Structure 1
Amino acid sequence: MSWALSLPSESLKDSSARHVLLCLANYAGSNGAGAFPSASTLAQDTGLSERTVRYKLDDLEKVGLIQKGNQAIAAVHIDRHDRRPVVYDLQLSRGANPAPRTKRGADDATGCNSQQNGVQPETERGAAAAPNPSLNHQVTEEQQQRELDDEISQQEQAAIESLDERQRFAMFATWEPSEKALADQLMIARLPAESVTDELFSDFKGFFVAKPATVDSQSGWCFRLVKWVKREQVRAAGAASTADSDEFDDDDTQWMKGASK
């Protein structure tokens, strides 16, 4: 966010677009990558309409302050394709054109590079990536699918590892809590580590996976998990008083109260 605040006024004169950029930066990682709040979330943060937010995101992308990032990050957290927001990366070079420069003309203003006689020594364009037709016939559809699944799995893992500890995300089926964050929350709640059983953990994830609009940080999800476990222990003991009910009241789990009647 400090990067967005430090942008000179001549780089971004539109105050609404600057507001959207500041809020978007709040969801990005420390390297400026992986911000994927929905348009409705940004609308709530900025007070603008969703349509205006989308227009301003387009404007920010056109001037080179943001660009579309690794969309696999959103896919890790949100299963439904039609509900995934666009993942953006902040261009921390302060508005520089994110498109890579070609080698031609990169060394001087004459359009010639430093290679001898201006001749590029690389192999023919595309030669290295050309497939061998005889080998392609030997690869079965099953092998191709397995390779594709492996590639997707690697992308998802990379997306998970790239998440900043402070970055908020929706719950997803393969989420595992940070050991330190969970241990801290259990200590605060005075609960032993074995309180988080596989059954409670599965119920917790299953409930919030069905609520993709709910987002939180890694530590925030650990807090919610311990809160869930503590409430379930009280319910199982059958000793929940009115005060206890107020303590564990959570808009995300109101349906549990009705289910117990």
Structure 2
Amino acid sequence: MSWALSLPTESLKDSSARHVLLCLANYAGSNGAGAFPSASTLAQDTGLSERTVRYKLDDLEKVGLIQKGNQAIAAVHIDRHDRRPVVYDLQLSRGANPAPRTKRGADDATGCNSQQNEVQPGTERGAVAAPNPSLNHQVTEEQLQRELADEIARQEQAAANFPPNDQRFAMFAKWVPDAKSLEDQIAIAGLPDDSVPDCAIRKFKGFFVAKPNMFDSGAGWCYRLVQWVKRERVKAAGQGQEPDFNDTSWGDDLGGL
């Protein structure tokens, strides 16, 4: 965070973007890497809307103050890939000037010298930034490396078993909607970001797993899923009720999409 605070004004004139950067830095390691707070978390920290936070993150990436880091770090802590926030690395070499440091000695402002009380200081001024006690630092470096290796192996195995997003396939029990395809379809349908709950995905898969002769691409299945959710929400709103995702009558209509 001290790096973000020391950025000169000309490096980042947008006060909102600076605020987002300061809060993002609070979740990074001492080397500036591995920060993965969600947009909603940054929105709470900054008081900005989630949409504004995303815009400011894009702006910070464009000016080179942050860049996308190792996304497997978030995967270690969050199983569902469509729920994982983006992992960012702060570009500590950009923008800020290093703070000057002087060795302790007879002229030290504390009044101590190298001979008093047998004190023999051998380090420079300026303490190394304390590690942030956040989710990013709940495991040791060695444990993190092992978990990252296991997660990468698991992802490679999963990629070998899951069809590409543009390939048509029959629905299967372990299908997980592609995060971007699902987000795009939700935006196109005009639904809130959190409008497709896990229970809806489970019911959707349960219905179509029983129809092995029906094929669609990953994006197509996301379209069907969002259309069903939208239909249930509209119907429930007209009746003044909550959406009933146990009702599978929608499946007959979606079968012809």
**TM norm structure 1:** 0.38
